[in-house]
Chains A and B, each alone.
Chain A
Amino acid sequence: MNTTYLAVEAGDLAVEASGFFLENVWIIPAIMAVSFAIILGAGKRMPKGGSEIGIAAVGVCFILALLTAGQWVGQVNAAEACTPETCDYVKYGTDEDGEPGYVANKSVGADHSDDHSEEGDHSDEDDDHSDEGAFPVDAGAGSSDGESASGFTAFVDAEEGSTAAAPIAVISERTWWSNGGIDFTVGTMVDGLTVTLLVVVTLVSLLVHIYSTDYVAGDRRFTHYFGFLSLFTAAMLFFVTSANVLQMIVGWELVGVCSFALIGHWWEEQPNSDAALKAFLTNRVGDMGLLIGMIILFFASNEKWGIVDINAAAINGSTSHTLLLIASLCLLAAVMSKSGQFFLHTWLPDAMAGPTPVSALIHAATMVVAGVYLIARMYGVFFNGLSIAGSSINALAVIGAVTTLVGASLAFVQDDIKKVLAYSTISQLGYMTLALGVGAWTAAVFHLTTHALFKACLFLGAGSVSHAVHSFDMKKDMGGMREFMPTTYKTFLIGSIALAGLPPLAGFWSKDEILAGTGGWGFWEGESHANGAYTVMLVMGMITAAMTAAYMTRVMYLTFFGEFRGGHHDDHGHAAADAHDDHAHHGDPHESGPRILWPLRILAGLAVVAGLMNLPKGFLGLPSGITLRFEHFVEPLSATGYFPKISHADPSWSLAIFSTLVVAFAVGVAYYYYFVRVNAQSPSATELINGPTARNKLLKAGHTMLKNRYYLDHIYDSGEPVGAAGATAMGVIFGSAAGLTLGFSLDNGLDQNFWPSAIWGLVLGLTVFTIVTAALRTGVGIATATKRPLANAANWVHENIIDATVDEVGKNSVKTADALYKYIDQGVIDGSVNAAGRGSQGAGGELRRWSTGQVQQYATVMFAGATLLAGLLIIVI
């Protein structure tokens, strides 16, 4: 067994970490916010329209993020090398005033009785120590089993046997204001998760910035675009560095607003502004959940806003479990809307209306990642609220699993290359949620990281293709692109393989970790389960892996193989083409410029190697210093007090080989269908004329359902033509599914009997679904009905109030200025100057008569004066 791994898993000691970049991480979002202000204020006068400011700012942020990450790695290493002589151990508990927070960990290096005296205040973990035979060990120096690195007396968990310490999150905050004895603080919290997100966000943002200088070149709102990119990045960085949930809410909403602005960047076209509105409205539904959840958590955790405090309260059992369950379900609603989880994912494909680099940013690093990050950050709440450990089903895992399947199935029937990628993102986000739902925290965050890299690569690749053909329609305008765009083709291929999850690219490692993390594989092998045996999730994840591989093969064929189908018409009129009116020639598509290709190359390169960050334990006999690096540096230990005690799945060769075979089989089937059958029919064909859907009614029906996106939009939007029967049927199905999920999680959480709670859950789920649907329908209805009157009213206000005010102010200004000129300038100022002149003249004329030039006369006057003064002197004295 290897020591490091066990040490990480056991994690019973924590130390404080410090470092300039860790403590001053606020600089990073601040730089981006300043950049936004400068671009908005002065961008238009800059030679490159403000883009240079954005790139410089995000570049600096990227470097700072790397430095922060480096410092964090240093802190983790330093903590590992800790001994009681060199470090002061801390733990989360209550201080003398009864105020929760980090206090000195007296059970280490001190005498035993100290520990017992405070036991009442401490978490279960500490109780475990005394119950399960924790004892002071004087381990000899150089002991080989990894029991202890150096000789000192410490409490060592007898079973797990380690004394390695972990750094706690670096929190620097100050009180913003106090009210009713509650401090509202602002500050930053940095730990492994934060620095991961910092690096990912700034890296993807930097590449997107560079890419955009070419992609949106010549756009009429070029400066505005870069300003919002900066703000978007700033908002996300602010969100991930938040130390308390209030700041998280602010960052969350800021991200939403920025995505609204950027999705609707080309708002002159109706669909684009509708898409922006839809994204915004759908997110409002989830935001209600966020607010309610956070408020519940605030009261449940003894009126604390701090992330650490809330998580710690959830973990050490001082919070009511029912409250935690409700809060985590509310937060789950927020995650569903933000991270595009089924059934609030419908805004995400529409968000493709924005410029492609923005899509890449939204899908890889900012908007949708926020939801997953929220779960990862508040994991103590979710882990305990949903009783993830030792279970086989819970709401989070079910939502994730359903989402991943729904997204993958919808990706099959899209003709728009960006929509395929959008549904793919939904599917992969479902994967992450699933992973979090089964307790595979590190796998989820790892997948988030690798997915950010290869999905950004894919989106930017799709943008590169559309840049050349001025369209996103794979069937009409693409095909055979690999001859025209070899570099884009290669990078897109790498991204696709990474997404499909074929070894040894990034996607394989993270996907495999998630599958292993479900613990479901042990069903066959009888190995140790991880946090539970989520066999259903494993099966659904496996199906999704196969589907992902198949639809990416389809995209590869339709875009890069076969015969070029575009170039026959010049009036595409697609949104993205707007920016490229200056491209005069519409001949053969051509490869994009270096500012587009280099981000692609970098991302493709990273997509190849990123998986090596977290090689499985004991992989090919590699030492512990190489494997599981990501987990080692990113995952907080339970000793930090704010992270639950999760166990890790053992990697399994059989699972890895099986999932690779499944993926390979799916690629093979799709390859046979497109590259062989369709291509044989005609090189320019996109589907078989007499394919399965044409021959089989059931398949045809399924295809129609997928084409209509499971009728979800029909249910939500009263404006869509409703296939009444279909919509109702789907509503009942979704409602039941949601209800059963709730039922399972209630059963799981409350230890009730299954059927009563399942029925309750069904009723509850149908009600919730109906309410949500009704709310959405009403919202959309209200939005649709009020858009025009609102616009008219706004116009009226603009014309009659704002403009009139401005007019009136202008007129009055002219009048005032007139009066000022007449009375003040001419009268007072000029008058006084003239009077001074005239006065001088008169005085001069008068005085000149006095200067006669007669010296004796002057002398007379002088004598007279002297005499007078002498007389005065005499009188006074």
Chain B
Amino acid sequence: MYLVQFLVLSSILFCIGVYGVLARRNAVLVLMSIELILNSVNINLIAFGAFNGAAIPAEVFALFIIAVAAAEVGVGLALVLTIYRNSKSIDLHQVDLLKG
């Protein structure tokens, strides 16, 4: 096994995630794309951990990230719900309250 295979996988996942975040209009899909980015990072961490034999197992960080991601999704979905209640839509292009 080679490290680069894991890195390529995580890069692909990261790019897909970034694309989702920047391009999708649906807020829920944007949140899902963020999950993809986080998971690509998890893969990275675990791969590096396995190949370098770190003192602290890399899985700990992955677990931390999963926990934080769960909380983040919770907050994110709550926001999406509130946006939906206010504007009857979760299309991010229509949410432009910050427009100067």
Hey, which bits of chain A sit against chain B, CB under 8 A? 847-856, 859-860, 863
Once bound together, how far apart are the Cα atoms of A851 and B93, in whole Å? 14
Closest A-B pairs by Cβ, 9 of them? A853-B99, A853-B96, A851-B100, A853-B98, A848-B100, A860-B22, A856-B22, A852-B99, A854-B96
> Within the assembled complex, what's the spacing in Å between the Cα atoms of A850 and B98?
11
Q: A859-B22, A860-B22, A863-B22 are in contact. Are A853 and B97 (CB under 8 A)?
A: yes
Residues in B with CB closer than 8 Å to A854 are 92-93, 96, 99
Contact digits for B43-67, partner A, Cβ 8 Å, 1 yes 0 no? 0000000000000000000000000
Q: What 1/0 mask marks residues of chain B from 74 to 93 whose CB sits below 8 Å from any chain A CB?
A: 00000000000000000011
Q: What are the residues of chain B within 8 A of A847 when measuring CB–CB?
A: 100
> B41 at the A/B interface (Cβ < 8 Å)?
no
Which residues on the A side are within 8 Å of B30 (C-beta)? 856
Instruction: Report the bound CA distance from A859 to B20 in whole Å.
Output: 12
Q: A859 contacts B97, CB within 8 Å?
A: no
Contact, CB under 8 Å: A863 / B97 = no
Chain B residues positioned under 8 Å from A852 (CB to CB): 96, 99-100
Chain A residue with minimal CB distance to B96? Answer: A853
CA distance in complex: A854, B22 (Å) = 11
Cβ of B98: which chain A residues have Cβ within 8 Å of it? 851, 853, 855
- In Å, the complex CA distance between A851 and B100 comes to 5
The smallest beta-carbon distance between B18 and chain A, in angstroms, is 6
Residues of A within 8 A of B99 (CB): 851-854
Q: Give chain B residues whose Cβ lies under 8 Å from the Cβ of A860.
A: 22
> How many Å lie between the Cα of A854 and that of B25 in the bound state?
11
Counting chain B residues whose Cβ lies within 8 A of the other chain, the interface size class is 10 to 19
- In the assembled complex, the Cα of A853 lies from the Cα of B92 at a distance in Å of 10
For this complex, 10 residue pairs linking A to B, each with C-beta atoms less than 8 Å apart, are A847-B100, A848-B100, A851-B100, A852-B96, A852-B100, A853-B95, A853-B97, A854-B92, A855-B95, A859-B21
Complex: A859 Cα to B37 Cα, angstroms: 14
Residues of chain A within 8 A (CB-CB) of B23 are: 856
| Distance to closest chain B CB from A394 (angstroms) | 108
- Give the docked Cα–Cα distance between A849 and B92 (Å): 19
What residues on A are CB-neighbors of B18 within 8 Å? 863
Chain B proximity of A802: nearest CB distance (Å): 67
Report B-chain residues with C-beta under 8 Å of the C-beta of A853.
95-100
Contact status B100-A856, CB under 8 Å: no
A856 near B92: Cβ-Cβ < 8 Å: yes
Whether A855 touches B92, Cβ cut-off 8 Å, given contacts A860-B22, A863-B22, is: yes
CB closest chain-A residue, reference B93: A854
| Shortest Cβ distance from A863 into B: residue | B18
Chain B residues positioned under 8 Å from A856 (CB to CB): 21-23, 30, 92-93
Q: Which residues of A have CB within 8 Å of B96?
A: 852-854
Residue of A nearest to B18 (CB): A863
In the bound complex, CA of A850 to CA of B95 (Å): 16
Which of A849, A855, A859, A860 neighbours the largest number of chain B CB atoms within 10 Å of its CB?
A855
Complex Cα–Cα for A848 and B97 (A): 13
Residues of B near A863 (CB, < 8 A) are: 18, 22
Whole-angstrom CA separation of A856 from B18 in the bound complex:
11
- Chain A residue numbers with a CB within 8 Å of B100 are 847-853
B67 to chain A, nearest CB (A): 24
B98, closest chain A residue (CB): A853
For residue A852, which residue of chain B has the nearest CB?
A: B99
Whole-angstrom distance between the Cβ of A319 and the nearest chain B Cβ: 100
Question: Which chain A positions have C-beta within 8 A of B92?
Answer: 854-856
Once bound together, how far apart are the Cα atoms of A849 and B99, in whole Å?
9
Chain A contacts for B93, CB-based, 8 A = 854, 856
Give CA–CA (A135, B30) in the complex, Å: 122
Output the least CB separation between A842 and chain B (Å).
15
Residues of chain B contacted by A855 (CB below 8 angstroms): 92, 95, 98
In the assembled complex, the Cα of A852 lies from the Cα of B96 at a distance in Å of: 7
Chain A residues with CB under 8 A of B21: 856, 859
Assembly CA distance A615 to B95 (angstroms): 114
B1-43 interface with A by 8 A CB criterion? 18, 21-23, 30
Separation in Å of the A68 CB from the closest CB of chain B? 82
Least CB distance from A852 to B in Å reads 6
Bound form: Cα–Cα A629–B22 in Å: 111
Q: Which residues of B contact A850 (CB under 8 A)?
A: 100
Report A617 CB to chain B, min CB distance, Å: 109
Cβ contacts under 8 Å, A848 to chain B = 100
Question: Which residues of chain A are within 8 angstroms of B22 by Cβ–Cβ distance?
Answer: 856, 859-860, 863
Chain B residue with the shortest CB-CB distance to A867: B18
Question: When chains A and B are docked, how far (Å) is the Cα of A853 from the Cα of B97?
Answer: 6
Most buried by A among B18, B92, B93, B100: B100
Q: How far is the CA of A859 from the CA of B22 in the complex (A)?
A: 7
How near does chain B come to A335, taking the closest CB pair, in angstroms?
96
Q: Please, how many angstroms separate the alpha-carbon atoms of A859 and B92 in the complex?
A: 12
**Measured CA separation A863–B15 after assembly (Å):** 11
Not counting A851-B98, A853-B100, a sample of 9 additional A-B residue pairs whose C-beta atoms are within 8 angstroms of each other reads A851-B99, A852-B96, A852-B100, A854-B92, A854-B99, A855-B98, A856-B22, A856-B93, A859-B22
A859 to B19, CA, bound (A): 11
Chain A residues with Cβ below 8 Å from B95 are 853, 855
Cα separation A451 to B44 with both chains bound (whole Å): 113
B residues within 8 A CB of A859? 21-22
Minimum Cβ distance to chain A for residue B26 (Å): 11
Instruction: Please measure, in the bound complex, the distance between the C-alpha atom of A851 and the C-alpha atom of B99, giving whole angstroms.
Output: 6
CA distance A175 to B92 in the complex (A): 89
A852 to B99, CA, bound (A): 4
- A855–B30 Cα distance when bound, in Å, is 11
Q: What are the residues of chain B within 8 A of A849 when measuring CB–CB?
A: 100
| Complex CA distance for A852 and B94, rounded to whole angstroms | 11
Distance A62 CA – B54 CA, assembled complex (angstroms): 92
Nearest Cβ distance between residue A870 and chain B, in whole angstroms? 12
Query: Which residue of chain B has its CB nearest to the CB of A849?
Result: B100
In the complex, A65→B65 CA distance in Å? 90
Chain A nearest Cβ from B86, distance in angstroms: 15
- Nearest to A857 among chain B residues (CB) is B22
A172 to B26, CA, bound (A): 97
Q: How far is the CB of A553 from chain B (nearest CB, A)?
A: 109
In the complex, what residue of chain B is closest to A860 when comparing beta carbons?
Answer: B22
- Nearest B residue to A848, CB-CB: B100
- Smallest beta-carbon distance B13→chain A, Å: 16
Nearest Cβ distance between residue B22 and chain A, in whole angstroms? Answer: 5
Closest to B24 in A: A856
Smallest beta-carbon distance B78→chain A, Å: 17
Give Cα A860–Cα B21 distance, bound, in whole angstroms: 9
Query: With a CB–CB cut-off of 8 A, which chain B residues contact A851?
Result: 98-100
User: In whole angstroms, what is the CA distance A848 to B95 when docked?
Assistant: 17
* Cα(A7)–Cα(B97), bound, Å: 109
A859–B18 CA distance with the chains assembled, in angstroms: 10
User: Which A residue's beta carbon lies closest to that of B30?
Assistant: A856
Task: Please measure, in the bound complex, the distance between the C-alpha atom of A852 and the C-alpha atom of B100, giving whole angstroms.
Answer: 6
How many angstroms from the CA of A859 to the CA of B34 in the assembled complex? 12
**In whole angstroms, how far apart are the Cα atoms of A302 and B73 in the complex?**
105
Measured between C-beta atoms, what is the minimum distance from B98 to chain A in Å? 4
Compute how far the CA of A54 lies from the CA of B98 in the bound complex, rounded to whole angstroms.
75
Chain A residue at smallest Cβ distance from B21: A859
- Smallest CB separation, A602 vs chain B (Å): 88
**Smallest Cβ-Cβ distance to A844: which chain B residue:** B100
In the docked arrangement, what's the CA distance between A848 and B22, Å? 22
Closest CB-CB distance, B12 to chain A, in whole Å? 17
| A529 vs chain B, min Cβ distance (A) | 116
**Bound: A854/B30 CA distance, A:** 14
A856 to B30, CA, bound (A): 10
B97 cross-chain contacts in A, Cβ below 8 A: 853
Q: Complex: how many Å from CA A100 to CA B18?
A: 101
A863 to B95, CA, bound (A): 20
In the bound complex, what is the Cα–Cα distance between A850 and B99 (angstroms)? 9
In the bound complex, how far is the Cα of B97 from the Cα of A849, in angstroms?
A: 14
Chain B nearest Cβ from A815, distance in angstroms: 50
A847–B99 Cα gap in the complex (Å)? 11
The CA-CA distance from A856 to B99 in the complex, in Å, is: 13
* Complex CA–CA separation, A108 to B95 (angstroms): 111
CB of A356 to closest CB in B, whole Å: 88
